[in-house]
Structure 1
Amino acid sequence: MNNLREINSDTVLRFGPYAFHLHQRLILDGDRPLRMGGRALEILQVLVEHAGAVVSKDALIAHVWPTSVVEEINLRVHIAALRRALGDGPNGQPYIVNIPQRGYSFIAPVQHDRAGTPVLVETVHKPQHNLPARLTPVTGRDSIVGSVVRQLPVRRFMTLIGPAGIGKTTVALRVAELLLQHYRDGVWMVDLSAIDDPSQLFDHLSRTLELDVGAKALAQRHALVVLDNCEHLLERCRTVVDDLLASAPRLSILATSREPLRAAGETLLRLPPLTVPPASAIYSVDEAMGYSAVQLLVSRARARQQGFALRQQDLKAVREICRRLDGLPLAIELAAAQIDALALVGLQAQLGNCFQLLSQGRRTAVPRHQNLKAALDWSYERLSPLEQIVLQRLAVFKMAFTLGAAIGVISGAMLLPANLVSVVESLANKSLLSVEQGNGVTRYRFLNTTRTYALEKLENSGYLRAFELRYERYISRTHWTSVGQVVLQFVE
């Protein structure tokens, strides 16, 4: 709806074809108002008022977010949005340039005027969205978030993949938050874990996006849809994504899944764990805090225990905790919740029983994120019976293994080698096994937490000791075969 507001002796900053009415917080391109968010306008005002000078990133952040602690990526996203909205200046260069190691500068000439003419203004509504309020900062994901923020508006369809607890939903929500100002018709989160029947997917999507006339209502929308937890509805998700991208050319889709959707035009981004300290010693608190897994552990511990500080004598325990938990954000957050009761040394000592230790979840989280076991149950319960058996038996491997080793240890009359190969590859696609390439050989490896979970399942099945013996015989046979080859080479 349009409304008429008087500009009373308003200061107007003019550059190129634009008029920036400061009192109204309005930018006109001729007679057309530009849609910009409040933060972007504040950044632009500082830069334009200091045209020709370099404004540091710290100064911009301090001005725009005076009472908040924010990441530099927030600033970069708004700068990118401003550049897109303004286009290039009269000289063919962007109006805003980055000065490496210093900050940003507005390089176009600026004229200061006074205005007293009424201007017809189209009211700019706040971006529409259904994103939950963020309660904690995102740690260690700036690079990945920035990459998705830059690529998604161009590529239109990206899928974040990774194992349980790696933080796919956290990253997707952060990307969505940072792109709120980019999508004029909103950013919408659609949690697919709430449904199990593929036939319900489209109705669930329509209700979340408040579509009255089905997918046709999206045809002209400039919006972002986040499809969270697609792994159990892959085929139906693939069909819906294909249809939406074809019928709505201004729509972008960000999916999260434990395996690829394999839809047309899909760009995959596999989330790595947070960085963990090396097995070798770390010598200072500052060195330890250079690893994002340690940063998250300390941040969450401080939130639980006032006055918590990482000390020199804690470094060995912190290194072991982060490594044993594979740098998984969910596992680290749950472990940090126990520090006030156990202290770091006590927490380290209890890691052998990690599922009992990490069972005290977040009551406000969805069930699959309330504790580590629930997150793995979500994946395990959606495996076929054969995949469940193979996952259990492979857990006897303490190190990375090849397909040949897997066949040598767990295949049999009921599990033929040809079937085993396809199942192992399927488990890797589902992010339950990690894949390593080296010297032309493919190896598979468990995360420590996944292996502990699978071993517990194997023990409950009654076959743990039998497959441990098969593993020991295979390793012994392989070892003596290798020794024999060395001896033969020496004799020759």
Structure 2
Amino acid sequence: MNNHHDFNPGPVLRFGPYAFHVRQRLILEGEQPLRMGGRAMDILQALVERAGEVVSKEHLIAQVWPTSVVEEINLRVHIAALRRALGDGANGQRYIAHVPQRGYSFVAPVVQGDSDARLVVSPRHNLPARLTPVSGRDAVVGRLVRQMPVCRLMTITGAPGVGKTTVALRVAELLLQCFRDGAWWVDLADLEEGAPLLEHLLHVLKTDFSALIGRHALVVLDNCDHHRAACAVLVETLLQAAPRLTVLATSREALGVESETIHFIPLLAIPKRSALQTVEEAMGCPAVQLFVSRARARQHGFSLREQDLPGVREICRQLDGLPLAIELAASQIDALGLVGLQAQVENGLQLLGQGRRTAVPRHQSMAAAIDWSYQYLTEIEQRVLLRLSVFSMGFTVEAALSVISCPNLSGSRLTAVIEGLARKSLIIEEPNRSTVRYWMLNTLRRYARDQLGRSDERLDLEHRHARYLSRTRSASGRALVAQAVE
């Protein structure tokens, strides 16, 4: 009786610890055959033979079920079985990536013949697998996808938790087929300060500089915040040496590189009170879309009703339309219910402290997301940020000078720090005003006030703020009286 060593000649495709004998329809892990159903084997062959490309769901269904009409769920079931059989994701090794709304891609290197034979295909991307759908960002993503082909460096900026990484990943997914050599993700979040960035990038891309400069590819540099100066040097080097590379970066602050296009990610729009007449109107607002999407994922059967609309609007308003904060709040829907969420949303950051265990640490709570930015501020920036939390509404530089200044922090120095915090997206500059005004996100203000505690400094700031408001109101009253007399 033949055993698995007795083959007729035929192609052998190798990836990871596996050898795929295509003609014999046999997969070996070392000396052991891998148990796998026929449909899963068909799907694997279709993906491996086009490794590095995105194979559409329609193409896979047509190839695997050529004479049958089947639903997409059938494909998903067999993909899941195939991933389990291969140990996809174990020990950091990924084989099959899902590209939302497009299909699937085999992302591991594939070699034909012996282990030292030539590389047949190599992956065209290393984009992280998406764990949740993108909600409320269609307009932003659409603008970026249209802009990217005409600029070589795009930097996505915005506040902590606003979804810079989410947007960048979606843009890279949609642009993947526009670059001959694919799209490549380089996360700089956990890289030690002072680490050589070019060396890290080449390691992630598994290439050398001479090969990189000839590529037509999209390079995504995620979380440039704490390596801003080094990232600027790296990007300038890449753009000068590699004329067909395009760079998409995410950072709280622009890199300051020549020819950089900056796109600030806004907070999600919150419905106006006039839009609370119907569920359909409210669902037209991105903040509500995100809340409902995450609530449904958490609580089976969750349905938004008209009587829920004021409560959902208030939750989104208290959270400023900040995506991470909305996601964290919605994750508590099964424990607290909608009424409980609304009651708890004003209680500081405690509600926003139980994110997905699979999320990176800085996204598991709102406090951790802010910490990740706060710890890299200078001491003087930290001090100003905490003191600015005394303003519950917007403020001008004049108001800040009057309320939070001190002998070591006044005049032009305080003004420069406030402007710097705005560039770092830690306070928001209100556009379209003759007098520049700033304001702080509710979540950030609560974090800063927690840092200040009930110290003598906080009490003094509150008294100074109250006196400033009193003087301002008195001056406004006198101006109205004078105007009436005239």
- TM-score (norm. length: structure 1): 0.74
Task: Give the one of 287, 291, 299 matched to 2:293.
Answer: 299
Task: Give the one of 391, 397, 401 matched to 1:403.
Answer: 397
Aligned residue for 2:217? 223
* 1:18-76 Cα distance to aligned partner (Å, 9 max, x none): xxxxxxx9xxxxxxxxx98544996xx9xxxxxxxxxxxxxxxx9999979xxxx968x
CA spacing shift, 1:299–1:67, aligned 2, 3 Å: farther
Contact in 2 for aligned 1:196/1:232 (Cα 8 Å): no
Contact in 1 for aligned 2:426/2:440 (Cα 8 Å): yes
SS class of match (1:159): strand
Alignment of 1:298-447 (within 5 A): 298-447=292-441
Q: Equivalents in 1 of 2:54, 2:297: separation in Å?
A: 31
Partner amino acid, structure 2, of 1:428: A
Aligned residue for 2:198? 202
Partner amino acid, structure 1, of 2:134: V
Contact in 1 for aligned 2:222/2:249 (Cα 8 Å): yes
CA spacing shift, 1:150–1:487, aligned 2, 3 Å: closer
Q: CA RMSD in A?
A: 2.7
- TM-score (norm. length: structure 2): 0.75
SS class of match (2:395): coil
* 1:110-140 Cα distance to aligned partner (Å, 9 max, x none): xxxxxxxxxxxxx995752111211221111
CA spacing shift, 1:36–1:336, aligned 2, 3 Å: closer
- Once the two structures are TM-superposed, the CA of residue 199 in structure 1 deviates from its matched residue by 3.4
Partner amino acid, structure 2, of 1:199: A
- Once the two structures are TM-superposed, the CA of residue 196 in structure 1 deviates from its matched residue by 2.9
* 1:77-116 Cα distance to aligned partner (Å, 9 max, x none): xxxxxxxxxxxxxxxxxxxxxxxxxxxxxxxxxxxxxxxx
Aligned residue for 1:254? 248
Contact in 2 for aligned 1:218/1:248 (Cα 8 Å): yes
SS class of match (1:189): strand
Aligned residue for 1:242? 236
- Once the two structures are TM-superposed, the CA of residue 162 in structure 1 deviates from its matched residue by 0.1
CA spacing shift, 1:303–1:63, aligned 2, 3 Å: closer
- Once the two structures are TM-superposed, the CA of residue 176 in structure 1 deviates from its matched residue by 1.1
- Once the two structures are TM-superposed, the CA of residue 404 in structure 1 deviates from its matched residue by 0.6
Contact in 1 for aligned 2:275/2:282 (Cα 8 Å): no
Q: Equivalents in 2 of 1:222, 1:281: separation in Å?
A: 46
Deviation above 6 Å: which 4+ runs of structure 1? Answer: 62-68
- Once the two structures are TM-superposed, the CA of residue 303 in structure 1 deviates from its matched residue by 0.9
Contact in 2 for aligned 1:216/1:247 (Cα 8 Å): no
Aligned residue for 1:10? none
Aligned residue for 1:163? 159
Q: Equivalents in 2 of 1:216, 1:334: separation in Å?
A: 44
Aligned residue for 1:284? 278
Contact in 1 for aligned 2:182/2:216 (Cα 8 Å): yes
SS class of match (1:179): helix
Aligned residue for 2:268? 274
Partner amino acid, structure 2, of 1:186: G
Alignment of 1:128-207 (within 5 A): 128-207=124-203
% identity of equivalent residues: 54
Partner amino acid, structure 2, of 1:129: H
- Once the two structures are TM-superposed, the CA of residue 455 in structure 1 deviates from its matched residue by 1.4
Structure 2 gap ranges (5+) = 1-10, 12-45, 47-51, 63-69, 77-99, 103-118
SS class of match (2:178): coil
Contact in 1 for aligned 2:348/2:447 (Cα 8 Å): no
Aligned residue for 1:95? none
- Once the two structures are TM-superposed, the CA of residue 488 in structure 1 deviates from its matched residue by 2.9
Aligned residue for 1:448? 442
Q: Equivalents in 2 of 1:206, 1:252: separation in Å?
A: 15
CA spacing shift, 1:483–1:169, aligned 2, 3 Å: same
Q: Equivalents in 2 of 1:269, 1:127: separation in Å?
A: 29
Structure 1 gap ranges (5+) = 4-24, 26-34, 46-61, 76-122
Q: Equivalents in 2 of 1:183, 1:232: separation in Å?
A: 28
* 1:179-226 Cα distance to aligned partner (Å, 9 max, x none): 222222221111111113233322221211112x3x222111111110
Q: Number of matched residues?
A: 390
Partner amino acid, structure 2, of 1:229: N
Contact in 2 for aligned 1:227/1:256 (Cα 8 Å): yes
